[in-house]
Amino acid sequence: MRVIGLAGWSGAGKTTLLARLLPRLVGRGLTVSTVKHAHHGFDVDQPGKDSHTHRLAGATEVLVSSARRWALVHELRGADEPRLGALLAKLAPVDLVLVEGFKHGPHPKLEVYRASVGKPLLHPDDPHIVAIATDTALPQARVPVLALDDDEGICDALLRYAAPADSLIHG
């Protein structure tokens, strides 16, 4: 299992890019999972559903299963947020894990950058950024720069720079 992230400021297009790349990577015969970091509280279960009631009543974990999918919700109940490596250890093995968010983590990352967002580049201050996908020229970049619409080139870069998950799980 190999891991690489998509990092960038809000509004840069990380989710849009990830949604375009996933079918291309799967089309190459890869199994791919994603990890998404949320900055605020979020719910995957809905008010009025039994799983939501179980969680609000105090359950630490609620596992919901059906013939089509299962989901596990783990309530931290004041515990520290787990590091990326601990979360990766919970995933079933796949060829590639794409991480959206965790922009300050120690895993290799492709920076998604749009000047129109009005924020500075994360590169070169983050030594874990291995390439940049952008819609503008970046002659100052010290890593490969790819056009934001070059899906095949970006897929190639993700595969080239992805790191073994073990280095993050046990590192």
Query: Is 135 among the domain residues?
Result: yes
The CATH number given to whatever domain includes residue 93 is: 3.40.50.300
Q: Is the pLDDT of residue 44 over 90?
A: no
Separation CA 138–CA 134 (nearest Å):
8
Q: Is the pLDDT of residue 143 over 80?
A: yes
Query: Is 61 among the domain residues?
Result: no
Tokens found for residue 142:
């010290």
Residue of 151 and 74 predicted with greater confidence: 151
Residue of 71 and 19 predicted with greater confidence: 19
Question: Which residues, listed in sequence order, are joined to residue 2 by a DSSP beta bridge?
Answer: 96, 164
- Lowest-pLDDT range of 15-19, 80-84, 107-111: 80-84
Query: Is 56 among the domain residues?
Result: no
Residue 41: pLDDT band with limits 50, 70, 90: low
pLDDT at position 104, please? 87
Residue 171: pLDDT band with limits 50, 70, 90: low
Q: Which residue range(s) make up the domain with 110?
A: 2-39+81-169
Q: How large a percentage of the chain has pLDDT more than 90?
A: 66
Collapsing DSSP states into helix, strand and coil, what is residue 62? Answer: strand
Q: Is the pLDDT of residue 103 over 90?
A: no
Closest CA to 102 of 3, 21, 6: 6
